[in-house]
Copies of this chain bind each other. A is one copy, B any other.
Amino acid sequence: MSGGPVDAATPPEVATAPRGRFDLIFEPAGQRVRVPPHVFLFDAASWNGVAIDSTCGGHGTCRKCKVRVIEGTAPVTALDTRAFTVEELKRGWRLACRVDVTSDLRVDVPPLATRPKAATVGVGRRVILRPAVQKRFVELTPPSLADQTTDLDRLTACLDDLEVRAELDVLRTLGPVLRRSDYRVTAVVVDDVLVAVEAGDTTQTTYAIAFDLGTTTVVATLLDLATGAPLAVRSMLNKQQPFGADVITRISAIMMDARTLSELTRLAHETLNELAQGVCEDAGVNPNNVYEIALAGNATMTHIALGLDPESLGVAPFIMTAALFPDVLASDLGVAVHQRARAVLFPALGAYVGGDIVSGLLASGMDRDSRLRLFLDIGTNCEVVLGNSDRLLATAAPAGPAFEGAAIRCGVRAAPGAIETVKITSDDVQLGVIGDEDPTGLCGSGLVDVVAELVQLKLIDPSGRFVTDEVAASLAPGVASRLTQWNDLRVFVLHWNGDVGDVTRSIFLSQRDVRELQFAKASIATGWRILLEEAGVAVNDIQQVLLGGSFGSYLSAASAVRLGLVPNLPLLRIVSAGNVAGEGAKMALLSLRERRGAMALLEEVEYVELSDRGDFNDRFVDELAFPA
């Protein structure tokens, strides 16, 4: 992996990385991209914003993605022999979706015959609209003795750019629908499955729902697939909450009582379905016109939602049942939309780097960007991904529940009343409270702020210990009185709820809370430091730090740097990425090619397991201290 900015036109030293890469140059623009072996040329172009004609989305059926290979090797496939003359083949013409890249290539891309629609989603990602869900209105010639083509073949012959298989349930309605509607019907195809045949022209009502299935919060976005526009968004707490705040407590509940699995599965389904019905209601959309859903969730949430036993995720060696789930229906997830609607689930890279992270990588485009970037999704578990289009490394660091407000004496979840920002000078404490209400406790971003401010003021020393009252009085006379004793603990009071001096009723930070934060921070920092080392790069080589998840949106970059939670970099390089998991799920619904890109990440990202590293504990201890 290159240290400095990577210039795509000059292959950096990483060409010697363990996984080979090939250079593709797209003419006439001359755009150069690097790709792993055995990607299809069409997908590589699409991922890099090079538009090639296609109506089938790269399935090898429309034969429109014609390009001319000017340099490099691209064997003629059986399909090429049907699409081109011998003369054209000799001149290098190939179908881009069949070119399996096994060498550097220079290809000429003809101008587009039609202008594709596009939408902007993810981290400024422009996505060419080509959903897996395709609706086609067709007017069929009724059969006659001279044309006894079957109902199915009559229909599919009019979908000549799509290759579909029909499920039995659809066949059961096909004949009656065709005859009732005078052979004027709309075929609904998802990927390669004919899921419905509807009377008349229904092409304008095509919807999908993207779910971000979080352990705490679940978000649903209803998308109009005809335009790419989001029509409604709803979120709610995951109904599994009563079984524990984090994945480990929920897995434990299942280990204690096997019947709990089906109960948790049911609750996940209820949550997803309530949201689905809600967004449809908000937008006035008939749920029967929702033909696909996408779900990004961590491995445990995904396993439970599918009814898969997550027990082996909860104990070493942390084994998933599967990383990829090919044929899942929305109904398998309890979502009552169209009865044959399909569900796309993001694959997981590991038991603790799940589909939500893969979805986030898709949204952030890390695998197609030459800049070296570090992605951090901080929660009970912290997922860490480092790399660029040449190489991606991922790991998971167990952060504990400190940032969720748990295990912190005055900790609360980020909700109205939670202190989310803290400024402390030697004279004063300023609190930012969600909803401008009376403060009720300290949420994750407030916790990071207060510790960072106290470290800055030297009221907490680099080892994480509160200084003595004497030292505090000399360093920060205006706030020194807040540093006091409560039972057997040193505490720093942020807000007196009752009388000044009544610590019990106040909101404070205790010595033990600082230790909890140190454990979390040390775990996360060990994670990204090990990845930097594996990649052979230094902190300063990182061109951007992306903070994912809702916590990432509220965290103060300055405080995070001060504590060593994120690498010490200019603050401009540290950005919040927003709800990237949800954005990735939307992208997967809007673009079949983006979806394939997400699936390809499973092969492309190298997973680094921390828990079997002999040096992990030593390095963890090294990271406990705050930067001096």
Point out residues on A near B: beta carbons under 8 Å.
Answer: 38, 75-78, 81, 100, 102, 143-153, 165-168, 171-172, 174-176, 179, 306-309, 311-312, 316-323, 325-328, 332, 350-351, 607, 609, 611-612
**Contact of B76 with A317 in the complex, beta carbons under 8 Å:** no
In whole angstroms, how far apart are the Cα atoms of A159 and B153 in the complex?
A: 35
In whole angstroms, how far apart are the Cα atoms of A36 and B168 in the complex?
A: 30
**Contact of A320 with B150 in the complex, beta carbons under 8 Å:** yes
Q: Which residues of the other chain, B, contact A174 by a CB distance below 8 angstroms?
A: 321-322
A contact patch SS: loop
Contact of A609 among B75, B145, B179, B311 (CB under 8 A): B145
Given A75-B77, A172-B307, A176-B309, are A148 and B328 also a contact pair (CB < 8 Å)? no
**Contact of A148 with B350 in the complex, beta carbons under 8 Å:** yes
Could you tell me the distance in whole angstroms from the C-beta of A319 to the nearest C-beta in chain B?
Answer: 5
Given A308-B172, A309-B176, are A322 and B150 also a contact pair (CB < 8 Å)? yes
**Contact of B78 with A102 in the complex, beta carbons under 8 Å:** yes
**Contact of B77 with A171 in the complex, beta carbons under 8 Å:** no
In whole angstroms, how far apart are the Cα atoms of A406 and B316 in the complex?
A: 73
Contact of A321 among B75, B152, B332 (CB under 8 A): B152
Given A75-B76, A75-B81, A175-B312, are A168 and B320 also a contact pair (CB < 8 Å)? no
Q: Which residues of the other chain, B, contact A316 by a CB distance below 8 angstroms?
A: 145
In whole angstroms, how far apart are the Cα atoms of A580 and B325 in the complex?
A: 41
Q: Which residue of B lies closest to A78 (CB)?
A: B100
Given pairs A145-B316, A148-B317, A175-B321, 15 additional interface contacts (CB within 8 A): A38-B78, A75-B77, A77-B78, A145-B317, A148-B318, A148-B607, A151-B312, A152-B321, A152-B323, A166-B322, A167-B327, A168-B327, A168-B328, A175-B309, A176-B309
In whole angstroms, how far apart are the Cα atoms of A263 and B147 in the complex?
A: 31
In whole angstroms, how far apart are the Cα atoms of A75 and B167 in the complex?
A: 34
Given A75-B78, A78-B102, A165-B326, are A319 and B350 also a contact pair (CB < 8 Å)? no
**Contact of B609 with A148 in the complex, beta carbons under 8 Å:** yes
Given A307-B172, A327-B167, A327-B168, are A322 and B153 also a contact pair (CB < 8 Å)? yes
**Contact of A171 with B308 in the complex, beta carbons under 8 Å:** yes
Q: Which residues of the other chain, B, contact A322 by a CB distance below 8 angstroms?
A: 150-153, 166, 171, 174
Contact of A308 among B100, B175, B332 (CB under 8 A): B175
**Contact of B306 with A179 in the complex, beta carbons under 8 Å:** no
Q: Which residues of the other chain, B, contact A327 by a CB distance below 8 angstroms?
A: 165, 167-168
Offer 20 A-B interface pairs, CB within 8 angstroms, sorted by A: A75-B75, A75-B77, A143-B317, A144-B317, A145-B317, A147-B317, A148-B609, A151-B312, A151-B320, A152-B323, A153-B322, A168-B327, A171-B325, A172-B306, A172-B307, A175-B311, A175-B312, A175-B319, A175-B321, A176-B309
Interface pairs A-B: 5 shortest CB-CB: A145-B612, A152-B322, A78-B100, A150-B320, A145-B317
**Contact of A148 with B351 in the complex, beta carbons under 8 Å:** yes
Contact of A151 among B38, B143, B321 (CB under 8 A): B321
**Contact of B323 with A153 in the complex, beta carbons under 8 Å:** yes
Q: Which residue of B lies closest to A179 (CB)?
A: B312
**Contact of A332 with B146 in the complex, beta carbons under 8 Å:** no
In whole angstroms, how far apart are the Cα atoms of A611 and B309 in the complex?
A: 59
Q: Which residue of B lies closest to A328 (CB)?
A: B168
Q: Which residue of B lies closest to A165 (CB)?
A: B326
Q: Which residues of the other chain, B, contact A147 by a CB distance below 8 angstroms?
A: 317
Q: Which residues of the other chain, B, contact A326 by a CB distance below 8 angstroms?
A: 165-166
Given A78-B102, A165-B327, A179-B312, are A145 and B321 also a contact pair (CB < 8 Å)? no
Contact of A306 among B143, B168, B308, B350 (CB under 8 A): B168
In whole angstroms, how far apart are the Cα atoms of A179 and B150 in the complex?
A: 48
Could you tell me the distance in whole angstroms from the C-beta of A64 to the nearest C-beta in chain B?
Answer: 21
Q: Which residues of the other chain, B, contact A146 by a CB distance below 8 angstroms?
A: 609, 612
In whole angstroms, how far apart are the Cα atoms of A318 and B320 in the complex?
A: 52
Given A81-B102, A143-B317, A145-B317, are A150 and B309 also a contact pair (CB < 8 Å)? no
Q: Which residues of the other chain, B, contact A328 by a CB distance below 8 angstroms?
A: 168
**Contact of A332 with B168 in the complex, beta carbons under 8 Å:** yes
In whole angstroms, how far apart are the Cα atoms of A167 and B307 in the complex?
A: 12
**Contact of A319 with B150 in the complex, beta carbons under 8 Å:** yes
Could you tell me the distance in whole angstroms from the C-beta of A328 to the nearest C-beta in chain B?
Answer: 6
Q: Which residues of the other chain, B, contact A609 by a CB distance below 8 angstroms?
A: 145-146, 148
Q: Which residues of the other chain, B, contact A166 by a CB distance below 8 angstroms?
A: 322, 326
In whole angstroms, how far apart are the Cα atoms of A311 and B180 in the complex?
A: 13
Could you tell me the distance in whole angstroms from the C-beta of A528 to the nearest C-beta in chain B?
Answer: 20
**Contact of B151 with A319 in the complex, beta carbons under 8 Å:** yes
In whole angstroms, how far apart are the Cα atoms of A367 and B145 in the complex?
A: 26
Q: Which residue of B lies closest to A313 (CB)?
A: B175
Q: Which residue of B lies closest to A320 (CB)?
A: B150
In whole angstroms, how far apart are the Cα atoms of A157 and B268 in the complex?
A: 32
Could you tell me the distance in whole angstroms from the C-beta of A19 to the nearest C-beta in chain B?
Answer: 16
In whole angstroms, how far apart are the Cα atoms of A477 and B311 in the complex?
A: 93
Q: Which residues of the other chain, B, contact A150 by a CB distance below 8 angstroms?
A: 319-323
Could you tell me the distance in whole angstroms from the C-beta of A248 to the nearest C-beta in chain B?
Answer: 17
Q: Which residue of B lies closest to A155 (CB)?
A: B322
In whole angstroms, how far apart are the Cα atoms of A325 and B311 in the complex?
A: 39
In whole angstroms, how far apart are the Cα atoms of A492 and B100 in the complex?
A: 77
In whole angstroms, how far apart are the Cα atoms of A327 and B100 in the complex?
A: 29
Q: Which residue of B lies closest to A150 (CB)?
A: B320
Q: Which residues of the other chain, B, contact A102 by a CB distance below 8 angstroms?
A: 78, 81
In whole angstroms, how far apart are the Cα atoms of A352 and B172 in the complex?
A: 20
Could you tell me the distance in whole angstroms from the C-beta of A482 to the nearest C-beta in chain B?
Answer: 45
Q: Which residues of the other chain, B, contact A607 by a CB distance below 8 angstroms?
A: 148
Could you tell me the distance in whole angstroms from the C-beta of A504 to the nearest C-beta in chain B?
Answer: 44
Could you tell me the distance in whole angstroms from the C-beta of A98 to the nearest C-beta in chain B?
Answer: 9
In whole angstroms, how far apart are the Cα atoms of A319 and B148 in the complex?
A: 6
